[in-house]
Amino acid sequence: MKILVLAGDGVGPEVTGQAVRVLQWFAQNRNLDLRLTERDFGMTNWQKHGTLMPDETWEQIQAADAILFGATGSLDQAAVIPPEERRKGSLLRMRKGLDVFANMRPVKMQPALAEGSPYKPRVTEGVDLIFVRELTAGMYFGTPRGVETLPDGTRRGVNTHTYTEAEIRRAVRFAFELARSRRNHVTSVDKANVMEAGALWREIAGAIHKEEFPDVGFEHMLADNCAIQLARNPTRFDVLVTDNLFGDLLSDAAGAIIGSLGMLPSASLSAPDAQGRRRALYEPIHGSAPDIAGKGIANPLGSILSVAMMLRWSANRPEDAALLEKAVEGALAKGARTADIASPGEAVVSTSGMGDAVIAALENAAR
């Protein structure tokens, strides 16, 4: 597998470093044929090359079987880099360029973290849901967009929420197919009561259910109601499919259930090509976390669990994926806690200490 590692800004390199260690463990111990290439992404590129995205990096992105991404975003960036350069070097360009429309964001409660969650254990016990967030359309990419000056000299910001039938269809179909491999239930989330694009989303999702997946349990839900259902009764969900913006917000909110944003992985896939291969981007859902960057305290489990998703979806190694997920569970069960998931009074490990704990659990399982 040709894997391109783009660790990026802030805590990106810290957490990605641990995920790469785990990948190397699989290369050394489980015959994973790994060809790793690393490139800078974000501010480091700007400082070295005067561009956020050198052409050579873009070529590497196109050529990789899978990309392991860390995080992007720095306050300096917004201040010094022109908007067109920021667009050229952005994560959004990469997502759109690779056409990775299906963004899976699993949220699975770790039994060992029941006390670390801000929610009561009776709410979090058994939570095992997954978002399919449409990632390449909607509010993030719709036109017209920009800031215009009105005749009275004041300004107006404009973004446009657009979805074509085809964009809705492929995301919703992906969710139904995924549900068949899980607990066979899909919740489609929209604002059909307010937005035309939401009403179209609802119509298409309903039709796909009826015509192609009548065997799968299905419901529509308004996005605001979904926010409270996620907090009150998250075990009711299996697969949630939603648009780009709602998926961004609701998946962060669901991160609170398991205690920290640092725990959540993601995988973004394109449609398969003629050989059945999908373009693939793996990243924790959190950002560059400037408040904790450079201290060696970030939680690397979102990035490490993204490697598990890579093993499942790009390497076609479900057993290795399960082994890694078990190792993460084992490390937590043994008490490894970064600061974000520690309960008061619990001992805390560093980012690399959590990496050590996962590798030790892998060694244990492999014995």
Which positions make up the binding site? 95, 105, 133, 224, 248, 252, 287-299
Q: From the list 13, 70, 89, 287, which residue makes contact with ligand IPM (rule: CB under 6 A)?
A: 287
Question: b/e for 78-108, b at 16 or more Cβ within 10 A?
Answer: eeebeeebbeebbbebbbbebbbbbbbbbbb
Stretch touching Mg ion by CB under 5 A, among 14-22, 87-95, 243-251, 358-366: 243-251
Q: Which residues contact 219 (CB under 8 A, 6 or more apart)?
A: 185, 186, 187, 188
Q: Which of residues 210-269 bind ligand NAD (CB under 6 A)?
A: 260-262
248 is catalytic: yes
**Calpha distance 336→328 (Å, rounded):** 10
DSSP classification of residue 341: G
243 is catalytic: no
Indicate whether 100 belongs to the interface with ligand IPM (CB under 6 A): no
Indicate whether 357 belongs to the interface with ligand NAD (CB under 6 A): no
What does the per-residue mask of binding to ligand IPM show for 233-272, with x meaning CB under 6 A? Answer: ---------------x------------------------
Taking the least distance from each CB to ligand NAD, the nearer of 243 and 283 is 283
- Active-site hit among 191, 243, 282, 340: 191
Indicate whether 45 belongs to the interface with ligand NAD (CB under 6 A): no
140 is catalytic: yes
**Calpha distance 263→198 (Å, rounded):** 30
**Calpha distance 271→349 (Å, rounded):** 40
Q: Which residues contact 265 (CB under 8 A, 6 or more apart)?
A: 105, 106, 282, 283, 284, 285, 301, 302, 303, 304, 305, 306, 308, 309
Contacting residues toward ligand NAD, per CB under 6 A: 11, 15, 71-73, 91, 260-262, 283, 286-292, 298-299, 302, 340
Contacting residues toward ligand IPM, per CB under 6 A: 73, 91-92, 248, 285, 287
